[in-house]
Chain A
């Protein structure tokens, strides 16, 4: 049996999955707590746990030891980036999109000329990578040059990826190369109205693999494995892209949505053009990437439970549960202060369901586009901003709040278009799938090696709910 072991070194758990390549099936998985200062220990624990489980199935430890091992990681704070552009809604937003799609946590996005205060703030934020954009090709060049000079004053060895106006890219890199490792890639926005984030995403991934993994002390783990290939969110997005587009001659699922509710953040990934589905609609604003990821740092079901309650409103959650607002706040406080909290009583479970529902609801509302009617002298016109997700069918849920839920469907209902918010372009009649074995990141990793098997693995593992 040819095996491959796919590893996700998360901030709390190191998850290992063994996949039978011929059958494209998950045959065993195990998780052990991530050991923050030396991830190797947690990884070894997870691998020996897996070996034990597999030996019960008749797989010898040596088969497992010889199997290829690929990993993704969100440990040590994940990949933390700063995005810099010129206009907030144009190149700065394009840079932010590129970083998010590469699986980064965007610490801050800067627009226009960096000030000395910005420079000091960047130094204090200690990003892993800085993405420097600004100007369309042949367009504005003064700002990106100014910003490169300001950054150059920081005597830091942070990789800087230059993805701005092509005409001055090498000049910009020249200012930076004295202290930074610099990389030049294609402009994230070569012309107004055209987003080109893939080349930047690829360079971010390369830099992550080659330098960040080492800087974060994750490289020790790579004696056990072939390498840490990407940040975990990038692997999830990769899996979504594969599922959507298909592999080889196998057709994909088409447009789809992934909702990943975690303890600290909620990620939403959409795969699809998001073009208008209502006839006669005009699209405004920056074009959307086919594979789009948004991260909500204030929406989560453990560490971010209180911010979630603040964002949604204790009254709203209370109404949903039939509880007093004070009860909601009190429970959220308790969860936040006990990171290893596990729901016990029926009330605990009910509260978890509600948190998951509202994290899903709010995050998907922020991710989805909006439509507005504008009355012109020649009649009414619909204007769409962002992606139209209304016709999307498959919605895939991943994360403990879904997997451990007695009724994942109920939590997932948060993604559905709400008539109370008629202008949000959320799915109207979705079909739900559950990533019950945490296979998405593993599938994305495997896709790098063997997209056909990865596609079959994903199809075999996702469960309709």
Chain B
């Protein structure tokens, strides 16, 4: 265990469960303490779980194209809860159709996410970055 706690979940009315399970397994293997909220997770549930567990980062998944609506106000909700500095990641099929990735990335960064990942990102693609953001060696 590396001592870092992550809250994980698929936001909104999204029921894609498989990727969420794979992420949980990969992150546990990488030594994180994983709090997986599963699918259909509301903003409130992300915030409350992060409070109770003193989470270091929150990893949001969205695979049905409605992430922008679901994530509006999420960073602000963390600010309200006294966790304004928490590390926020998002990944998945964030928008509908073939929109330029840079635009999508900028959109979600503006919503307060620290890192934004495109579809087909594998756990090993982002875990080194996550470790670095959390101040873990290597």
Interface residues of A (CB under 8 A from B): 86-87, 89-91, 135-136, 138-141, 189, 191-193, 282, 284, 374-378, 381, 383
Would you call A139 and B13 a contact (CB within 8 A)? no
Ranked nearest first, the 9 interchain pairs of A and B with the lowest CB-CB distance are A139-B53, A376-B13, A87-B48, A140-B54, A192-B49, A139-B54, A377-B64, A192-B35, A136-B53
Q: How far is the CA of A381 from the CA of B48 in the complex (A)?
A: 24
**Residue B14 lies at the interface, judged by CB distance under 8 Å to chain A:** yes
Query: Main secondary structure on chain A at its contact with chain B?
Result: loop
Q: Determine which of B5, B7, B35, B40 lies in contact with A374 in the assembled complex, contact meaning CB atoms within 8 Å.
A: B40
Which one, B35, B40, B51, B55, contacts A383 given CB within 8 A? Answer: B40
* Sample of 19 further A-B pairs with CB below 8 A, known A140-B51, A192-B49, A381-B40: A87-B52, A90-B51, A135-B52, A135-B54, A136-B35, A138-B33, A138-B54, A139-B53, A139-B55, A191-B35, A191-B53, A192-B7, A192-B35, A192-B37, A192-B52, A193-B37, A284-B45, A376-B13, A381-B15
Closest to B14 in A: A376
Check if A378 sits within 8 Å of B54, measured CB to CB: no
Residues of B within 8 A of A (CB): 5, 7, 13-15, 33, 35, 37, 39-40, 45, 48-49, 51-55, 64-66
Cβ of B97 to closest chain A Cβ, rounded Å:
13
Residues of A within 8 A of B15 (CB): 282, 376, 378, 381
Residue of B with least CB distance to A91: B52
B44 CB to nearest A CB, Å: 8
Alpha-carbon distance between A124 and B45 when the two chains are bound, in angstroms: 33
List residues of chain B with CB within 8 A of the CB of A89: 48
Within 8 Å by CB of B5, from A139, A193, A381, A383, lies A139
Q: Quick check: A282 and B39 within 8 Å, CB to CB?
A: yes
Q: Are A138 and B5 in contact (CB under 8 A)?
A: yes
| Contact partners of A375 in chain B: CB under 8 A | 13
Residues in A whose Cβ lies below 8 Å from that of B5: 138-139
Complex CA distance for A135 and B45, rounded to whole angstroms? 15
Q: A376-B13, A377-B64, A377-B65 are in contact. Are A140 and B40 (CB under 8 A)?
A: no
Task: Establish whether residues B52 and A189, one from each chain, have CB atoms under 8 Å apart when the complex forms.
Answer: yes
Question: A376 with B64: in contact, given A135-B52, A140-B53 (CB under 8 Å)?
Answer: yes
What would 28 A/B residue contacts be, using CB atoms closer than 8 Å?
A: A86-B52, A87-B51, A89-B48, A90-B49, A91-B52, A138-B54, A139-B52, A140-B52, A140-B53, A140-B54, A141-B54, A189-B52, A191-B35, A191-B53, A192-B7, A192-B35, A192-B37, A192-B49, A193-B37, A282-B39, A284-B45, A374-B40, A376-B64, A377-B65, A377-B66, A378-B64, A381-B13, A383-B40
Determine the chain A residues whose CB is within 8 A of the CB of B39 once the complex forms: 282
State how many angstroms separate the Cβ of A279 from the closest Cβ of chain B: 14
Q: Please, which residues of chain A bring their CB within 8 A of the CB of B48?
A: 87, 89-90
Pick the contact of B53 from A192, A282, A376, A377 — CB < 8 Å? Answer: A192
